[in-house]
Amino acid sequence: MLRPPPQLTVSAWADRHRVLSSRASSEPGPWRTSRTPYLREIMDALSAVHPARRVVFMKGAQVGASEGGNCWLGYILHHVPAPVLAVQPTVELAKRFSRQRIDPLLEETPALKERVAPARARDSGNTLLSKEFPGGILVLTGANSAVGLRSMTARFLFLDEIDAYPGDVEGEGDPIALAEARARTFGWRRKAFLVSTPTISGRSRIEREYAASDQRRYFVPCPHCSEMQWLKFERLRWDKGDPRSVRYHCEACDAGIEEHHKTAMLAGGAWRATAVAEDPHTVGFHISALYSPVGWLSWEQIARDWEAAQGKAEDLKTFKNTVLGETWQEQGEAPDWERLVERREDFLLGVVPDGALVLTAGVDVQDDRLECDIWGWAEGVSSWLVDHVVIQGSPREREPWDALATLLARDWPRSTGSIRIAKACVDTGGRDTAAVYGHLRRLRDPRIAPTKGVDGWNRAQPVQGPTPVDAMVDGRKLRRGLKLWTVSVSTWKADLYRRLWLGRGEAHEFPPGWVHLPRAIEVAWVKQLVAEQLQTVKDRRGFARQEWAKLRERNEALDCAVLARAALWLLGADRYGEQFWARLREDVSNAAAVVAEPASEQIAAAPMPPLAAAPAAAPRASSWLAPRHGWLR
């Protein structure tokens, strides 16, 4: 009765008490730390008896990080009761985490089942986002909720997938700083676990936190020469086109290591610090999916994923983030405008190329004009500049906006009929925002999306909204009269530059994502398209961040391209993927059939008219992207 409870470590507690559920694990049953030996030191650093106050874990996928964090939560609930705050990127993800991870943890582990009352019990304190237990409480929230981050004082913080957190939560600052402020009153007894798959170099939170730690790597012995080394992707080799021949080659003896050797290598591994931490109470760990235990993610599958990602920047980025657990370096350097001028192609400005399936427009508002670029799009986000239109006139006046309405009502010719602009994003920033709001409200065209650009990278979506704003129309103030969308311009600029840097090599076909420019477009416009460059600067706290800086004064073409890409996102191209493009191909085929039928009857009497004259004679097919039909409204 008087004996104090044993001072268990997290790994010892998990081996003694944790039971994995079939709802949350591919290997249900008693927890075995020996299955993932590299997690032992990470979990033990989270123990109450360990001096570390901040534990940073930068990792790839399929290494068991989430379950290691859940073992820590179970250890707290059972062995070290205290208030705990678990933060997911959004409140919705926190609810999902509660249902899929926390509930099975409590239900399947006998030592925890008796600590938390059933959710259906009266006044149980067991809700979706709050779990009360003797001596403490577990609260789950999202990094997008400022109220959730400052609603309680917590001794322990579990900050999961921090690279997906917003940059500024509801104007109150960085969500990590807000969460850690909740634990200050616990002094040296507090502990925070920061874990995430990394994202973009220079913007990744987990990269920044890991760089400030002692940067530990997991060294494993070679089965042939016993040399200790940490696994690097460059040492994974296979015959091109034959991932089954994959072997890992030792740095010391260069002998090929088979996949089945991995179990013994992991068991004989050890963490070693590779740097001196800025804060002695911060420890950092990094591991890639190369360490994934046998039966999870194999080296053969990693080789297949690498080969499949070649030539596709987005897939390479995903591979580097999720498999290697490393940040992706954006191609923020501006492409040479001379190279873009030289690769211009022979298609007519003002005519939709056959490859384009849908049109979007980006409208940049200047003090004395509206700059409008119309872009055509196809699968893989391949794009064509269809036309560049400048509408003269002050945005405060009515005339330029009436001209924009006329432009949006125009049919754009193509060889199989004609199509209209499906979506247009209009930038409302600048000195005449109120006037722009009023004119866009007056037009009431559902294809027009009023937008406001922001520089933030860490946003849940590259386009967010809509947010209702007030609009003045003919002297009358309409409360919440306009719906405003927020566009992450930094994200779309990086996307455009990544596509502009694509090369063809010796291939005859254009790669997916290629940006096609007509020969008629002026050199000055091309210079505007690459008028900015991504630069790394340090903020007031000394942390590195990336921002776009102007290389030239005029950048309207770049802004319009960003807005046109955001319009494509609003149409659903990124959400619906192949389904979106398949419906567009079907629509174009239907339009071609309508055009071909009357033409076949008249071909004997007269030759076909020139391409530019085709729209006047061709009947217009109904389209699923028409502004008066379907989901687009």
- What is the per-residue pLDDT across 304-343, written as a single tens digit (0 to 9) for each? 999 888 867 678 888 999 999 998 876 656 788 888 998 8
Query: Are residue 404 and residue 317 in the same domain, yes or no?
Result: no
CA 459 – CA 486 distance, rounded (Å): 10
| Domain end point (choices 293, 322, 351) | 322
Query: Are residue 212 and residue 355 in the same domain, yes or no?
Result: no
Pick the residue with more confidence: 351 or 591?
351
Query: Are residue 445 and residue 382 in the same domain, yes or no?
Result: yes
Q: How many residues does the chain have?
A: 633
Separation in Å, CA 307 to CA 130, 134, 237, 310, 495: 44, 52, 12, 6, 22
Cβ neighbors of 600 (< 8 A, separation 6 or more) are none
pLDDT band at 363 (very low <50, low <70, confident <90, very high): very high
The phi, psi pair for 230, rounded to 5°, reads -100, 145
Query: Are residue 364 and residue 292 in the same domain, yes or no?
Result: no
Q: What is the pLDDT of residues 146-182, one digit of tens each?
A: 888 877 889 999 999 998 888 777 777 788 888 888 8
pLDDT band at 270 (very low <50, low <70, confident <90, very high): very high
Query: Are residue 57 and residue 139 in the same domain, yes or no?
Result: yes
Average of per-residue pLDDT values in the chain: 84
pLDDT score at 628: 41
Query: Are residue 186 and residue 298 in the same domain, yes or no?
Result: yes
pLDDT score at 596: 53
Q: What is the pLDDT of residues 503-541, one digit of tens each?
A: 776 667 888 889 999 999 999 999 999 888 877 766 655
pLDDT score at 595: 58
| Domain end point (choices 288, 322, 356) | 322
Provide the domain limits for residue 426.
343-522+554-598+613-617
Q: What is the pLDDT of residues 376-431, one digit of tens each?
A: 999 889 999 999 999 999 988 989 999 999 999 999 998 878 889 999 999 988 77
Query: Are residue 40 and residue 166 in the same domain, yes or no?
Result: yes
For residue 348, the Cα-to-chain-centroid distance in whole angstroms is 35
370 within domain boundaries? yes
Query: Are residue 309 and residue 388 in the same domain, yes or no?
Result: no
H-helix or E-strand spanning residue 107: helix 103-108
pLDDT score at 50: 92
pLDDT score at 188: 87
Q: Give the DSSP letter of residue 518.
A: B
Tell me the sheet residues that pair with 418. Answer: 413
Least confident segment among 262-271, 421-430, 497-506, 591-600: 591-600
Query: How many domains does the chain fold into?
Result: 2
Least confident segment among 214-223, 225-234, 440-449, 503-512: 503-512
547 within domain boundaries? no
Strand runs (DSSP E) across 307-445, as ranges?
A: 358-365, 369-378, 382-392, 412-414, 417-419, 421-427
pLDDT score at 633: 32
298 within domain boundaries? yes
pLDDT score at 330: 66
Q: Is pLDDT of 623 > 50? A: no
Query: Are residue 208 and residue 122 in the same domain, yes or no?
Result: yes
pLDDT score at 538: 65
The phi, psi pair for 172, rounded to 5°, reads -105, 0
Q: Is pLDDT of 486 > 70? A: yes
Q: Give the DSSP letter of residue 4.
A: P
Cβ neighbors of 416 (< 8 A, separation 6 or more) are 354, 588, 591, 592, 595
336 within domain boundaries? no
Strand runs (DSSP E) across 179-334, as ranges?
A: 191-196, 216-221, 228-229, 236-239, 242-249, 256-257, 270-273, 282-287
pLDDT band at 545 (very low <50, low <70, confident <90, very high): low
Q: What is the pLDDT of residues 243-253, one digit of tens each?
A: 999 999 999 99
Percent of the chain with pLDDT over 70: 87
Q: Is pLDDT of 191 > 80? A: yes
Q: What pTM was estimated for this model as a whole?
A: 0.66
